[in-house]
Amino acid sequence: MDSKFNYPTEIKGKRKLYSLFKGVKNPLEVISGNHQFAGDNYYIKASFTNKNFIFSQDKEFVEYILKQNHKNYYKSEIQSVTLGKYLGNGLLTNNGKDWLKQRRLIQPGFSKAKIASLVNIMEEEIDKSFQSFDVNTEADLYDFFHTLAFNIVAKTLFSSDIDENTVKELGKNITEIQEVFAKEVRLPFYSQILKIFGVIDKNIQKSKRSKDIIQGVLDKRRNSGEEKNDLLDMLIQTRYEDTNLPMSDEQLVDEMLILFIAGHETTANALSFIFFEISQNPEAEKKLKQEIVEESENIFTTESLMKKSYTSNIIKEAMRLHSPAWAIDRQALEADSFQGYSWPKDTLIILYITGLHRNPKYWDKPNSFIPERFDDENAKNFAYYPFGAGPRLCIGEHFAMMEMALIVRKFYKNFSFISYQKQLEKKALVTLRPTSLKGKIIKNLA
């Protein structure tokens, strides 16, 4: 360890070897175990790459990195380079002035007013998808929500019809890309093996195919001559302030790909976790259905969906327990220090959101599902960051919250869900996802 810097407790020896190898398949188990051993902040030096990593589930440290001193931190090479070679140079992977320029262009498409105008389109897609449910229907809600969320993104953001087979192909490509990416990041030496056997090249081809599909959506819109006043029209027509030029097709496709992925995958994963928790907590379902009755004809209005409610409490609590954005990575542009710790330039900071959200220092009964905790008047100050924080707060937060509230209320107005699973098997890739959510959908006969 470099004596010039004062790192947190170091993970070394057998625990370090265990972390490096076991972390490939079970990162949540390993990182949580290391925090239990070392405290809310710990340090590990990667033997093969010689890189410094600091992991944190400490609220003040997280806020320092994401808010107070955010200018000293970029998205790490893990995302900007390794993931960027698959997903391009969109909002998720971009950095610095280029990121800020893109954010300013895209932000107007996600204003509350713009999102409010999309409720009817969302309702149409949700109602259509629920038509497949009979009195008793067996289903894997994880698969169901991925298809539904993808269709909602396609219709609301791009007004585009993409056939079911293409949806499945894109979803399959995204999953396979993430699985290879996870191996590249967690076992850097293994990436050489992946290269030798052509896995990296195959992954890049899957990415290219996904981008070709999205280019087709873009070309179809341009050739149609139609104006649909959606996000795609805005992206096509918007101009950079300094040059008055539009985005290049390459940049447009990269942004669209990121919005497709972020707009459907994290929401679908979150919905799976939400419905699982409701299925395990009958009292929460009872209170949710009571609120649906009390809201009456206002139940699906924008005002009702966006206001603080028991519905939103359920969503927030499920995302606390199972945050799809399970970790946030940053890379130090210059050496830095905080509360007695110090670290050099290029240190990789992993903000462990899953650990923060279950840290007993900040949460009473941290592993219990208690939606009512978000009634607290101090809830805005909770150690709670499912959408990140600071300037890089997720651009689609309001879109996702409204979409999830609408789906939850639409479903529980007419149905209940009995999960066959008492525990969820989770997979931590770029996002945290369950492997399935199988059960029975019961239609209300009253």
Sequence-distant (≥ 6) Cβ neighbours of residue 385 within 8 angstroms: 62, 66, 323, 325, 328, 351, 353, 356
Closest CA relative to residue 214, chosen from 232, 240, 239, 237: 232
What is the pairing mode between strands 348-351 and 52-56?
Answer: parallel
DSSP letter for 117, please: T
10 Å CB burial of residue 159 (0-12, 13-18, 19+) is middle
Pairing of strands 438-443, 136-140: antiparallel
Are the beta carbons of 149 and 271 closer than 8 angstroms?
A: yes
CB 350 within 8 A of CB 55: yes
Find the Cα–Cα–Cα–Cα dihedral 291, 303, 228, 143, rounded to 10°: -30
For residue 233, give the 3-state DSSP assignment.
helix
Q: How far apart are CA 131 and CA 443, in angstroms?
A: 11
SS3 label, residue 311 = helix
414: exposed, middle or buried (Cβ count in 10 Å: 0-12, 13-18, 19+): middle
Instruction: Enumerate the known binding-site residues.
Output: 394
- The encoded tokens of residue 283 equal 């009292």
Cite the annotated binding site for heme by residue number.
394
CB 315 within 8 Å of CB 284:
no
| Beta carbons of 389 and 67 less than 8 angstroms apart | yes
Q: Residue 106 burial (CB < 10 Å; 0-12/13-18/19+)? A: buried
Neighbours of 37 (CB within 10 A): 11
Strand partners, 417: 441
Write down the H helix ranges in 297-444: 302-306, 310-321, 353-357, 397-414
Closest to 164 measured CA to CA, from 151, 153, 155? 151
In the chain, how long is the greatest CA-to-CA distance?
71
Nearest to 55 by CA among 65, 46, 42, 74: 42
Place of tokens 């699985």: 179
